[in-house]
Amino acid sequence: MNLSLFADEDQAPAGPAPLVPGSSASVLLRGFALPYLDEVLPALDTIVLAAPPRHMATPGGLRMSVAMSNCGPLGWVTDGRGYRYARLDPASGLPWPPMPPVFLRLARQAALAAGYTGFAPDACLVNRYAPGARMALHQDRDECDFTSPIVSVSLGLPATFLFGGAERADKAARIGLLHGDVVVWGGTDRLRFHGVAPLKEGEHAVLGPQRINLTFRKAS
């Protein structure tokens, strides 16, 4: 399956489209975040000023190509001690910035549009991709609650989302994502491997030469 055909960024938000044939557990919501962006982008500026994205190191000592920050009660971190959620930003020793109300509203409404009721995220990863940055195929397994979905919001430059299967070696679908697109997966698809192909060079009219990904999770 290939959904990598990029649509017009100015299109109106569309209804959910399945990512996996025959499964309603994972969907693409084209342009869903666009009506929220007048509030989301200023809130994002506040977050990255308080907790600037940084290139964290994996437990094996490799530097991630994606710069990361967080907002909300919990933030995802990685270092020599492993992958985990923490209440304090290790760079400052302070709590992560609070999750803005518009972030919560966007995440909950996207989950509801995908068929997931009662989504209450307590962590939002803020990932900044520069051209060439990528995210290897991985599972989101550090959360205590696998019953809640993952809600992923794309902002800025186009990206190719890789959505695989239950094993890392399973062939991954390639889904083109544009500014304002939202992907939601959960249920039987919750532990599928997923990632992002290397970001291509470009200049987005609003965010410049970068892609920002907001990933909402129920971690506790």
- Each of the 220 residues of the chain gets a pLDDT tens digit; together they read 334 334 445 556 778 999 988 889 999 999 999 999 999 999 999 999 999 999 999 999 999 999 999 999 999 999 999 999 999 999 999 999 999 999 999 999 999 999 999 999 999 999 999 999 999 999 999 999 899 999 999 999 999 999 999 999 999 999 999 999 999 999 999 999 999 999 999 999 999 999 999 999 999 9
Please give the sequence-ordered ranges of beta strands (E in DSSP) within 22-66, or none if there are none.
Answer: 26-29
pTM of the model: 0.93
Q: How many CA atoms lie within 13 A of 49 on its CB side?
A: 6
For tokens 């009721």, name the residue.
117
Burial classification of residue 45, based on how many CB atoms lie within 10 Å of its CB (0-12 exposed, 13-18 middle, 19 or more buried): exposed
Task: Return d(Cα 201, Cα 220) in angstroms, integer.
Answer: 37
**Long-range contacts: 93-96, Cβ < 8 Å, 24+?**
96/51, 96/69, 96/70, 96/71, 96/72
- Record the tokens describing residue 155, joined without a space: 């902002």
211 with 153: CB under 8 angstroms? no
